[in-house]
Each structure stands twice: as structure tokens, then as C-alpha cells.
């Protein structure tokens, strides 16, 4: 992970976490480098579209480095992952890139508002994705009495849809 430029944050020690973010901010400016951060700080297994509270470190980093925040949201994957059975199903997860949020002229005192604004825009996008997915599945199931499944075929075989 060190070779990938991973910044390790010790959340139990605020002083070392701040130093790690300071070093990352300097490197981002010097090398014009992007950083991918999951602001919740962990995973959520909620079946409903939701976000956990955001940690503020990523936002302090963006303000300190003077870089835009480009929020990226991924569709909830509860329809593909059964945590209790430790099993993934095949399927698609949509990802949406939201408009960048500028940190130009922002100070440390602006981090709380920036964090909240970012979280609200991401939550709204996730909820919209959920509504779209639910509508798509409701429409598909009501318009057909049979369902169609795509089956992966070897390259030399012709592709076929199987009615079930």
C-alpha cells in the first residue's frame, strides 16, 4: 500500500493524524495529485440508501491543499451482497460523479458547512439512484409475465436469452 501512495491515518491519535494530513496536503499541491477518500471512514451494510456521518479529516485536507472536492457516489449494493451468507450475486452497481465543490478561499472554520453540504448532495444523489432503480425493477416486473436472464456463453457460442 505504501507504493500506491496510501496515507495511513491513526484515528486513535489526533496529533499523528493531523501530521499525516499535513504531509498529504503538501504532496497533493507539489505533485498535483488526487486523493480518494471515503468520508464515512467505514462501510455500511444498510439495505436502504443512507450515509453514515462523515469524518471531517478529508475536508480539512481539501481546504488545506486548496483543491476541489469531486463527490462520487455508488449505488447501494444490498441487492447484490448477502452479508449473513457472505455471498455476492452478479449484477451492476451504478456510480455517479457529482459536480466539483470548490474549496477556494475556504478556511478551517468553513469545514463543518462544507462537510454537511457535501454529505447532503451525496445523499440526495444516492436516494435518486435508489428511486430510479426501484422504478426500473417495478416497471420491468409489471410489463412482463416472464423474466429474462442473460447467460454468459463461451466466445465461440452464440449469445442467447433464456426465458424462465
Supply the pLDDT for residue 53. 93
Give the whole-angstrom CA distance, residue 80 versus residue 59.
31
Task: Let me know if residue 161 belongs to a domain.
Answer: no
How far is Cα of residue 102 from the mean position of the Cα atoms in its chain? Answer: 19
Domain count, the chain: 1
Positive or negative: CA dihedral 106, 14, 50, 98: positive
The top-scoring range by mean pLDDT among 74-78, 87-91, 145-149 is 87-91
Domain holding 40, by residue range, is 14-144
pTM, 2 dp: 0.70
Has residue 32 been placed in a domain?
Answer: yes
Please indicate whether residue 5 or residue 26 has the higher confidence score (pLDDT): 26
Q: Is residue 157 part of a domain?
A: no
Q: Is residue 43 part of a domain?
A: yes
Q: Is 2 domain-assigned? A: no
CA distances from 107 to 71, 111, 136, 141 (A): 20, 7, 43, 51
- Summarised one tens digit per residue, pLDDT across range 35-66 is 888 888 877 777 777 899 999 988 999 999 99
* 164, part of any domain: no
Count of alpha carbons within 13 angstroms of residue 36, beta-carbon side: 6
In a domain, 93, yes or no: yes
pLDDT at 138: 65
Amino acid at each position: 500500500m505504501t507504493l500506491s501512495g496510501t496515507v495511513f491515518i491513526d484515528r486513535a491519535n489526533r496529533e499523528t493524524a493531523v501530521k499525516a494530513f499535513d504531509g498529504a496536503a503538501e504532496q497533493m499541491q507539489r505533485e498535483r495529485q488526487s486523493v480518494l477518500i471515503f468520508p464515512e471512514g467505514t462501510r455500511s451494510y444498510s439495505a436502504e440508501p443512507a450515509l453514515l456521518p462523515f469524518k471531517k479529516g478529508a475536508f480539512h485536507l481539501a481546504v488545506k491543499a486548496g483543491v476541489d472536492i469531486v463527490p462520487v457516489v455508488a449505488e447501494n449494493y444490498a441487492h447484490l451482497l448477502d452479508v449473513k451468507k457472505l455471498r455476492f450475486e452478479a449484477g451492476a452497481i451504478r456510480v455517479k460523479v457529482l459536480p466539483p465543490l470548490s474549496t477556494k478561499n475556504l478556511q478551517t472554520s468553513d469545514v463543518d458547512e462544507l462537510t454537511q453540504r457535501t454529505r447532503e448532495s451525496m445523499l440526495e444523489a444516492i436516494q435518486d439512484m435508489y428511486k430510479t432503480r426501484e422504478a426500473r425493477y417495478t416497471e420491468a416486473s409489471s410489463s412482463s409475465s416472464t423474466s429474462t436472464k442473460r447467460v454468459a456463453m463461451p466466445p465461440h457460442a452464440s449469445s442467447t436469452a433464456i426465458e424462465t
